[in-house]
Structure 1
Amino acid sequence: MIPPPGPDRRKQVFHRRFTRDDALKHLSPSVDLVLDLAPALCDLLDRGHRVAVATLVAVDGSAPRALGAAMALTGDGQVLGSISGGCVESELVEAARAVLAGGPARVRQFGAGDLVEPGLTCGGTITVLVSDLSSLGEEGLHQLRRSAAGLDAVLPLAADGSSCTDEPLVVLRTARRPELVVVGAVEFGVALCRLGAASGFRVTVVDPREVFATKERFPDAHAVVVDWPGRWFAARAWSADDAVCVLSHDPKVDLPSLEHALRSPAGFVGAMGSRRTHENRVAGLRERGVTDDELSRLRSPIGLDLGASTPEQTAVSILAEILTVRNGRSGRPLSQLSTRIH
């Protein structure tokens, strides 16, 4: 029989209500975070919902999610997002309910749990701010909407959930959202658009064919552009965080798009097609004056070797390669590595 936890148990339980002074001693006031759930939170506000938000504001050691992860509870009981992948969510829902019922914001810390108290199984400690979203105030909500739109945003948070500039509990920051440009309004593009948007990219679909390039086909896209990609690319400003995926299989579309993309600062440029298509494409790009150094940036055939065949599986393969390149990782199974996961 497993004995009940006693006073000398070695596994310490972290699960208590913090005061504001406690929080200021344990948290850095200048942590760079992502404002998780910002688009969904703004949508809920626009539809008149009251919302309590639990935001992960500090991590010590290993934790399931990164700083800035958030979970929201609406007045009608709808739950969005997560903080720990299931370890402490039930406790945070109760804290959020108390806030929505008129209680004060609260800062909670969770570490290793036991048979009685909720806690993390991965050995780390997390600190979570639970507050009413309306406490942000006008400037705080403005910054939240900037984040939702994929723009730079800075939100200093006090322990009561308000936006403040004097001794903030933590500073939430978000940078311009990276762009994923999908060239070709094809079924593979539909799947990649959906997956890319869900992964935090601001997705733009470009295709000269008006009948295919529609918002109805690409509801997850930030923008659907009906234009020749070469002309559209020439007027764009690019960032090293951006990715370009050419999926059209039409040299009139492929070659101008790739020529501009390979000469831009975009950090990832890939194209779909067979190896023979790739060879023909490279020859065409050389005829257009693209250099060997520029061609060395082209990832084609695009995607990791996952055995993908359907549009959805292929989208996973493509996005996996994009993330591998952006994050400078190996793409190998985590079970074969001894390095940190997060």
Structure 2
Amino acid sequence: MLELATTLRTWAAEGRRVAVATLVAVDGSAPRAVGAALAVDDTGRVAGSISGGCVEADLVAECERVLAGGPACMCRYGVGDWLEPGLMCGGTIDVLISDVAVLDEPAWHQVERAAAGLDATLALGADGRPCTDPVVTLTVRRPRRLVVVGAVEFGVALCALAARAGFAVTVVDHRETFAAKERFPDATAVVVERAARWIAARNWSDDDAICVLGHDLAHDTPAILAALRGGAGYVGAMGSRTTHERRVEALAALGATTDELACLRSPIGLDLGGSAPEHTAVAIVAEILAVRHGATGLPLSRVPGPIHR
């Protein structure tokens, strides 16, 4: 439910009644994780997804039943047969169907927090109401931060893709001519400042990523060192292997330790073969996600075990 908070807030502001299907349990392999949601309003609009298409039609019908006055219910979907909706991937899921109208004011406040990009938690019972003995506890966190250092064309592509992937993107460049919001419409913020100073003045966490895309050692090297020492979970720098070697020498001259240098991901991104800005953006975001989830970055066909951890 919380993953559709922005849509729920918009539809509520329009005066629409809304039913939501929320994935509350997964056994085995399933397309999506607990918390995935599908919403239907009283005009027939649909938003979100539970299974990637396997059971959506049935869930829409269940939501319409609730909107017509029916009670909240729990639906279970397994493999099924050709006469009934079911999952193709072999797992089993439990989905709670409920009317958003049953949420009380504190619960709706959590929806508003999620819609505003803030941390939010919502505990729901089998009737869809908030309770202390829930069948599911939904949690969302603020969007992960991704900083693009260098207002270059590769940064434009990275900003657009990362924003679609759920990151709050900030572009930082000391050159006012290039660091213009019009060039980066998908960015949460565009900052005109020396990147090293801006990075050093902020707190960073394992969820944050900093990508240095410039080609100016004088500005990029201090920014990389500030990022390595700031605690961001991912620090990458774009450039050739020759550029990387020069950067390592420059970083060492500034006092970077061996452990700090080992945390620098350069050349940046996974080996996907493309060189266009858009292809490079895919390679960078893919590496960031692999690092965050502790994944290998290998083709799934070469990785044993479940697809979804």
Which residue does 1:181 correspond to in 2? Answer: 147
- 1:219–1:144 CA distance, 2 compared to 1 (3 A): farther
Which residue does 2:203 correspond to in 1? Answer: 237
Which residue does 1:264 correspond to in 2? Answer: 230
Question: C-alpha displacement at 1:288, in angstroms?
Answer: 1.5
Write the letter of the residue equivalent to 1:219. Answer: P
Tell me the distance in 2 between the aligned counterparts of 1:156 and 1:97.
23
Query: Percent identity among equivalent residues?
Result: 62
Write the letter of the residue equivalent to 2:151. Answer: A
Which residue does 1:153 correspond to in 2? Answer: 120
Question: C-alpha displacement at 1:46, in angstroms?
Answer: 4.4
Tell me the distance in 2 between the aligned counterparts of 1:239 and 1:147.
20
Tell me the distance in 1 between the aligned counterparts of 2:129 and 2:181.
37
- 1:184–1:42 CA distance, 2 compared to 1 (3 A): farther
- 1:85–1:228 CA distance, 2 compared to 1 (3 A): same
Please say if 1:325 is aligned against 2:294.
Answer: no
Q: Which moved more, 1:244-253 or 1:64-73?
A: 244-253
Q: Which moved more, 1:218-227 or 1:279-288?
A: 218-227
Tell me the distance in 2 between the aligned counterparts of 1:191 and 1:72.
31
- 1:253–1:341 CA distance, 2 compared to 1 (3 A): same
Write the letter of the residue equivalent to 1:162. Answer: R
- 1:103–1:49 CA distance, 2 compared to 1 (3 A): same
Any conservation in 2 of the 1:302–1:318 contact (CA below 8 Å)? yes
Any conservation in 1 of the 2:200–2:230 contact (CA below 8 Å)? no
Question: C-alpha displacement at 1:49, in angstroms?
Answer: 4.4
Any conservation in 1 of the 2:214–2:220 contact (CA below 8 Å)? yes
Select the residue among 334, 337, 342 that pairs with 2:300.
334
- 1:219–1:76 CA distance, 2 compared to 1 (3 A): farther
Q: Which whole-Å deviations, capped at 9, do the CAs of 1:215-237 have from their partners, x for residues lacking one?
A: 33333322222222112111111
Please say if 1:306 is aligned against 2:241.
Answer: no
Q: Which moved more, 1:181-190 or 1:232-241?
A: 181-190
Tell me the distance in 1 between the aligned counterparts of 2:182 and 2:25.
40
Question: C-alpha displacement at 1:285, in angstroms?
Answer: 1.4
Select the residue among 88, 100, 111 that pairs with 2:78.
111
Which residue does 1:65 correspond to in 2? Answer: 32
- 1:42–1:207 CA distance, 2 compared to 1 (3 A): farther
Any conservation in 2 of the 1:150–1:202 contact (CA below 8 Å)? no
Any conservation in 2 of the 1:182–1:204 contact (CA below 8 Å)? yes
What are the within-5 Å matches in structure 2 for residues 1-342 of structure 1?
35-46=2-13, 48-165=15-132, 167-342=133-308
Any conservation in 2 of the 1:106–1:159 contact (CA below 8 Å)? yes
Tell me the distance in 1 between the aligned counterparts of 2:239 and 2:7.
36
Write the letter of the residue equivalent to 1:233. Answer: I
Question: C-alpha displacement at 1:43, in angstroms?
Answer: 4.0
Q: Which moved more, 1:93-102 or 1:112-121?
A: 93-102
Tell me the secondary structure at the aligned position of residue 329 of structure 1: coil
Question: C-alpha displacement at 1:182, in angstroms?
Answer: 1.3
Which residue does 1:8 correspond to in 2? Answer: none
Tell me the secondary structure at the aligned position of residue 230 of structure 2: coil
Q: Which whole-Å deviations, capped at 9, do the CAs of 1:78-132 have from their partners, x for residues lacking one?
A: 3222111111000011112223334332221111211211011111110111223
- 1:46–1:318 CA distance, 2 compared to 1 (3 A): farther
Tell me the secondary structure at the aligned position of residue 263 of structure 1: helix
Write the letter of the residue equivalent to 1:173. Answer: T
Any conservation in 2 of the 1:184–1:205 contact (CA below 8 Å)? yes
Tell me the distance in 2 between the aligned counterparts of 1:189 and 1:163.
43
Write the letter of the residue equivalent to 1:96. Answer: C
Segments of 5+ residues of structure 2 without an aligned counterpart are: none
Segments of 5+ residues of structure 1 without an aligned counterpart are: 1-33
Tell me the secondary structure at the aligned position of residue 216 of structure 1: helix
- 1:48–1:191 CA distance, 2 compared to 1 (3 A): farther
Tell me the distance in 2 between the aligned counterparts of 1:96 and 1:157.
17
4+ aligned runs moved over 4 Å, structure 1? 46-49
